[in-house]
Amino acid sequence: MTNQNWLTWVDSRNKNFSNPTGFLSITNLVWLTEEPQAIAGISGLWFSKDFTVFVKDSNTGDHSWTVEPRGEMTFDYDGIKVEVASRNSQMVVRPRDPNTEILKSFNGVLTFDYNEKFAVTATLIPSEAPKEVVVGSVVEGMTHAYVSPGALEFTMDGQTCRLTAFEKAGTKDLLVYFKDATSGKITYGTGRSVTASYQDDGTYLLDFNYSGNFPCSYTDFATCPIAPFENKLPVAIEAGEKKPLYRNTVEGLVSQVA
């Protein structure tokens, strides 16, 4: 029997990726410097200093926006949505267009069927103290830092597995980024994300049927993290989201089907 909560989750994922101003609408990712530069599709010359983005000589004059470190904001500009964000101590601009080919081609997330086998009970093996874990990014030279309380241990296919887990703000739940034997084949190569739900007895429900793709599985214009090197599972997690059919690149829409 299919889990109704899982069907609701799939529906929420479909709504997320079909958002006309979401990640699939991004047309470019431009890293700013203090040297003004033109950005295709929007007017003006764009540059940044510290955490402030400036545009001069645009269709509507000069503007500036300041964001928090690692923050972002989206606003209407030249008739479209534009995002400015702080990433890796540098500012980026991402224009968005609801008419992108990747958005038009999106017909729902691809998933494995729900399988109870992949809902396991995990135990937290705590570190002596929470520690910062730095992971790589799909952007060369960029990193992401997370706080880890330890590793989640569980059994899958008769094997004892461990995954470094990250704190999830405002909750006892933990966040896990992982790869497995399907990564780069049936599922996307840089990893997937799943939440480990805290249980009253102190264990965690790790239901891999809720493993979701990062936006970078659909587009080059993302700065997503890569699963920690130690989080490569030796087993095949045939649950959750599969690799998307198409990907948005600087060359346009490309197929990801082998």
Nearest in space to 43 (alpha carbons), one of 31, 30, 57:
57
Identity of the residue numbered 106:
F
- 110-156 confidence digits (pLDDT tens): 999 999 999 999 999 999 988 999 998 998 888 899 999 999 999 99
Span between the terminal Cα atoms of the chain, in Å: 31
Which residues make Cβ contacts (< 8 Å) with residue 158, sequence separation at least 6? Answer: none
Dist CA 79 CA 95 (whole Å): 11
189 neighbors 195 (Cβ within 8 angstroms): no
Which residues make Cβ contacts (< 8 Å) with residue 181, sequence separation at least 6? Answer: 233, 234, 235, 236, 237
196 neighbors 122 (Cβ within 8 angstroms): yes
pLDDT score at 140:
85
pLDDT-derived band at 165, boundaries 50, 70, 90: very high
Residues 198-204 have a mean pLDDT of 97
Dist CA 182 CA 35 (whole Å): 43
pLDDT-derived band at 250, boundaries 50, 70, 90: confident
Please tell me the least confidently modeled range out of 71-80, 159-168, 232-241: 71-80
Q: What is the pTM of this model?
A: 0.92
Dist CA 40 CA 65 (whole Å): 19
pLDDT-derived band at 23, boundaries 50, 70, 90: very high
Residues 167-181 have a mean pLDDT of 96
Which ranges constitute the DSSP H helices of 98-250? 101-105
Identity of the residue numbered 126:
P
pLDDT at 32 over 80: yes
Q: Count the Cβ atoms, other than its own, within 10 Å of residue 130.
A: 13
pLDDT-derived band at 2, boundaries 50, 70, 90: low
pLDDT score at 258:
63
Q: Say what the alpha-carbon torsion angle 169, 135, 195, 128 is, to the nearest 10 degrees.
A: -70
pLDDT score at 143:
87
pLDDT score at 1:
52
Both structure tokens of 124? 């937290």
- 48-84 confidence digits (pLDDT tens): 999 999 999 999 999 999 999 889 999 999 889 999 9
Dist CA 17 CA 7 (whole Å): 16
